[in-house]
Amino acid sequence: MTSKPTNAPGSAETRGSGNSGESHRFSISMDCVQDYRFLVHFDREQYADLQMDEPPPLGGDSAPNASRVLAAAIGNCLSASLLFCARKARANIEGLHTEVEVALARNEKGRLRIGKIEVTIEPRLRAGDEERARRCRELFEDYCVVTQSVRNGIDVSVNIKGLA
């Protein structure tokens, strides 16, 4: 008899038998449209393509760049994880607003990097549900796939076809 896993938001790719060694994958693709503007294609037909661009002096700043998309992914995953936990605790969140502030910094080689990300989540709770939701404060971050992956460092390998 198998049990259905309980997955937090952002973990749709982890659904399966619940075995800890299980690996699930998905793929995206992107095409350079013009200069530094890219069109990202997702693996599901129902997902709209996402346009990305770099700010000047490289790009035209016509769409968010990768740093902004990463900030949005972290903010979304944390917000969805808090909402998931609150619902499991039967705390009614009537609305939720999230702010993500990104601080850019230079590394020792002078290269620009994301130095810090601060996330502020403001849930609007139904009166009397604060105590139930408070339990989530210590739990919800651990279920955020994106944030925990960034915190732990992500193994990234790069292959460039045609360039040996």
Provide φ and ψ at 143, rounded to 5°. -95, 0
User: Percent of the chain, pLDDT > 90?
Assistant: 77
Structure tokens at 164: 């040996």
Helix (H/G/I), strand (E/B), else coil: 15: coil
Structure tokens at 77: 């995953």
Region of residue 61 (left: phi > 0; alpha: psi -120 to 50; beta: else)? left
Residue 125 vs residues 53, 82, 90, 129, 137: alpha-carbon distances, Å: 37, 12, 11, 6, 14
Asked if pLDDT for residue 49 goes beyond 50, the answer is yes
**Average pLDDT, stretch 15-26?**
64
93 vs 1, higher pLDDT:
93
**Average pLDDT, stretch 50-59?**
97
Q: How many other CB atoms sit within 10 Å of the CB of residue 79? A: 23
- Is the alpha carbon torsion for 12, 50, 63, 122 positive or negative? negative
The reported pLDDT for the residue numbered 138 is 87
